[in-house]
């Protein structure tokens, strides 16, 4: 068989594009402001030198066309929709200044507007690049192994079931599972893990993650277009278009405000000359200055810039926030409802106790239990099957399964009707009534935080299994961090036994424990938390807890790496199993909301100041333009601070 690491890594197998853009390409965002500024400087110089008017008007014309082309197109497009936007205001102000003989003033306005736009676009581009980078990490080619021969193929040609070779230091080309080899894999681009994760046969791996020192043979589980990395990139990019409540409010305000500015500008241009307060020239110049100062550019960018930066930052840390509305809402959460299995606990239970009744044996108890549980995909069922196989006990064929929600499962194994469930499920109606001895044994295990599965064959109790699902080691620390962020209640909602839930709850320090719940009861409890605390987030696995997650203000999927349902259903998905990411996500939301409020305050503060100064004639147009564009750049740069957000 060909060795996994038989040859050095091929450059084409690693996802990197080493071609550097040219100087002009790197600074393309400066072309418009530089060319228009040069034309303005030439025109101003020619005018001051007393050269023919047509000569310096040509230079000014170049400035107006180059700097004003984009605002004219955008403003005209909005005007056709009977909307007045910021580009329209700028063009009117510049042309108005030129019409009253202040051509240099109008050109300066457009140049400064172009510079401001260029700086905004460049700064916003940093956030967009952080998102776009997600989709560029995965390799473009893969080393496909087929019939013992390795050959490089485009990742788009990989099919589910193919085997790919990943050499040391290469990025993985596809989502799949390790079939051969062991290595540490840096999967921080997806999960945000701070350290590489050990991988061995059977473990899941993701496209775009970086292999360590060992060679791996990986079985492909997803097409390149459906990899977790590709889906994350799409969902995060789509999040930019999902507007936050603050942004929608700002847009509604702008739709009323901009026409009001136009009316006020006309009034300033007409009324003072009619009353003899100002000359027509002074009034028009003051009106153009007011038009510039009152333009709400900074307000329009204050929210989307912060949302874009926060969503990009969260994705880099393995937290997928699917839109500005969810980001803002997350910051209002005051209570968390959390599933137990797989959320507060690791979701990897193991059989620790086998109790035998009557004339049965441990082997018989495990064999019967594993035969029935082989029909289920629940983590507890998998643990029972794994425990049997570790003892070389192969499950028998089970037929006629009967799944009773919240009550267990029954099936026919050979000639016997085998029923599994908690002790309370054996009520004498759907299953034999639990005896005092069965209840006593179950209570002993439950007091030790064991989940109990009682096994009955026909009407006789065969035995019971005790399974232990340990709390996540970081759970207690995470809940302390959450409380410091204003979370007033962490409630555990579980279908598990009350004694088990209380033992786990005491260990991790939750505030409220509700156990032995049916799915519909979880919904009722989420609503009760909402009535008591206000906004509530439901944290679960994205499948069994989907109804409760949909009911809550924010649905958060835990451990969503590679889980299609969680990625699609949740408002927020944590791409690894670290509960501390909850505190990161909520803290980031708080920071984003603070920056949005700061930006709105800066934007409206500068606008109000300029309106007053421009109306009184206390600020010349160039200064008004500088203050206006300066405030716009400030709010974008302030928002970009979120790209470096860290929990304290």
Confidence of residue 396 (pLDDT cuts 50, 70, 90): very high
Residues 33-66: tens digit of each pLDDT: 889 889 999 998 998 888 888 898 899 999 999 9
Residues 547-557: tens digit of each pLDDT: 888 889 999 98
- The H or E element that residue 426 is part of is none
Residue 428 is given by DSSP the state: S
Which has more pLDDT, 176 or 83? Answer: 176
The pLDDT score that the predictor gives to residue 7 is 40
Total length of the chain? 648
Q: Which residue in this structure is represented by tokens 């700028």?
A: 90
Which has more pLDDT, 258 or 277? Answer: 277
Bridge partners of 356, per DSSP, are 463
DSSP string, 6-41: SSPPPGGGS----PPPPHHHHTGGGHHHHHHHHHHH
Residues 4-14: tens digit of each pLDDT: 544 433 333 33
Which has more pLDDT, 371 or 646? Answer: 371
Which of the residues 193, 339, 571, 578 is marked catalytic?
339
Nearest partner of 522 among 378, 423, 443, 405, judged by Cα:
405
> Of the spans 245-249, 262-266, 371-375, 627-631, which averages the highest pLDDT?
371-375
Encoding tokens for residue 59? 């230079």
Residues 485-498: tens digit of each pLDDT: 999 999 999 887 78
pLDDT, mean of residues 526-530? 95
Which has more pLDDT, 172 or 195? Answer: 172
Confidence of residue 261 (pLDDT cuts 50, 70, 90): confident
Residues 431-454: tens digit of each pLDDT: 678 888 889 999 899 888 888 999
Q: Are 502 and 515 in contact (CB under 8 A)?
A: yes
Q: How far apart are CA 465 and CA 488, in angstroms?
A: 37
Is 339 catalytic? The answer is: yes
Residue 193 has pLDDT above 70, yes or no: no
Residues 586-602: tens digit of each pLDDT: 999 999 999 999 999 99
DSSP string, 219-281: EE-S-GGGSHHHHHHHHHHHHTTS--HHHHHHHHHHHHHHHHHHHHHHHHHHHHHHHTSS-HH
Residues 103-139: tens digit of each pLDDT: 888 888 788 778 777 766 766 666 566 556 656 677 8
The pLDDT score that the predictor gives to residue 237 is 64
pTM: 0.74
């Amino acid at each position: 068989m060909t060795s996994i690491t038989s040859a050095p890594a091929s450059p084409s197998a690693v996802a990197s594009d080493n071609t550097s853009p040219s100087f002009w390409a790197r600074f393309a965002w400066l072309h418009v402001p530089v060319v228009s500024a040069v034309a303005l400087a030439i025109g101003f110089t020619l005018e001051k030198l007393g050269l023919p008017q047509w000569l310096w008007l040509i230079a000014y014309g170049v400035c107006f066309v180059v700097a004003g082309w984009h605002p004219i197109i955008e403003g005209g497009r909005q005007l056709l929709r009977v909307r007045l936007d910021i580009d329209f205001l700028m063009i009117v102000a510049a042309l108005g200044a030129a019409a009253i003989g202040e051509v240099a003033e109008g050109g300066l306005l457009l140049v400064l507007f172009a510079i401001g736009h260029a700086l905004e676009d460049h700064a916003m581009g940093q956030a967009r690049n952080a998102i776009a980078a997600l989709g560029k990490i995965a390799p473009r080619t893969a080393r496909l192994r087929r019939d013992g021969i390795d050959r490089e193929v485009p990742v788009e040609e990989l099919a589910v079931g193919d085997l790919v070779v990943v050499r040391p230091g290469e990025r993985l080309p596809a989502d799949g599972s390790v079939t051969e080899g062991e290595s540490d894999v840096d999967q921080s681009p997806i999960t945000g893990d701070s350290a590489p994760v050990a991988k061995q046969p059977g473990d899941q791996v993701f496209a775009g993650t970086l292999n360590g020192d060992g060679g791996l043979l990986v079985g492909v589980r997803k097409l390149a277009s459906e990899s977790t990395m590709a889906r994350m990139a799409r969902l995060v990019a789509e999040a930019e278009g999902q507007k936050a409540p603050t942004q929608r409010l700002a847009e509604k305000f702008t739709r009323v405000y901009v026409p009001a500015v136009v009316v006020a500008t006309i009034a300033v241009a007409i009324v003072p000359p009619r009353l003899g307060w100002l000359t027509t020239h002074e009034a028009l110049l003051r009106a153009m200055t007011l038009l510039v100062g009152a333009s709400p550019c900074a307000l329009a960018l204050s929210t989307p810039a912060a949302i874009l930066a926060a969503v990009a930052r969260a994705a880099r840390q393995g937290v997928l926030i699917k839109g500005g509305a969810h980001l803002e809402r997350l910051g209002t959460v005051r209570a968390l409802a959390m599933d137990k299995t797989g959320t507060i606990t690791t979701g990897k239970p193991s059989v620790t106790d086998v109790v035998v009744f009557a004339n049965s044996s441990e082997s018989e108890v495990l064999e019967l239990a594993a035969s029935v549980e082989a029909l289920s995909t629940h983590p507890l069922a998998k643990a029972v099957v794994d425990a049997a196989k570790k003892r070389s006990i192969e499950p028998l064929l089970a037929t006629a399964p009967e799944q009773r929600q919240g009550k267990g499962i029954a099936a026919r194994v050979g000639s016997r009707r085998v029923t599994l469930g908690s002790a309370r499920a054996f009520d004498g109606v759907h299953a034999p009534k639990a005896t005092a001895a069965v209840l006593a044994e179950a209570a002993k295990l439950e007091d030790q935080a064991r989940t109990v599965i009682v096994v009955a064959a026909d009407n006789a109790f065969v035995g019971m299994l005790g399974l232990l699902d340990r709390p996540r080691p970081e759970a207690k620390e995470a809940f302390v961090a959450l409380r410091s962020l204003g979370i007033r209640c962490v409630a555990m909602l579980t279908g598990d036994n009350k004694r088990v839930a209380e033992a786990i709850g005491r260990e991790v320090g939750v505030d409220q424990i509700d156990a032995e719940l049916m799915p519909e009861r979880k919904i009722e409890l989420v609503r009760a938390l909402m009535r008591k605390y206000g906004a509530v987030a439901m944290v679960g696995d994205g499948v069994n807890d989907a109804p409760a997650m949909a009911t809550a203000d924010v649905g958060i999927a835990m451990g969503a790496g590679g889980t299609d349902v969680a990625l699609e259903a949740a408002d927020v998905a944590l791409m690894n199993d670290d509960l501390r990411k909850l505190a990161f996500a909520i803290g980031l939301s708080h920071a984003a909301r603070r920056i949005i409020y700061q930006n709105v305050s800066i934007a409206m503060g500068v606008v109000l100041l300029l309106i007053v100064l421009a109306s009184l004639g206390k600020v010349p147009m160039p200064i008004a333009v500088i203050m206006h564009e300066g405030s716009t750049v400030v709010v974008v740069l302030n928002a970009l601070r979120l790209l470096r957000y860290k929990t304290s």
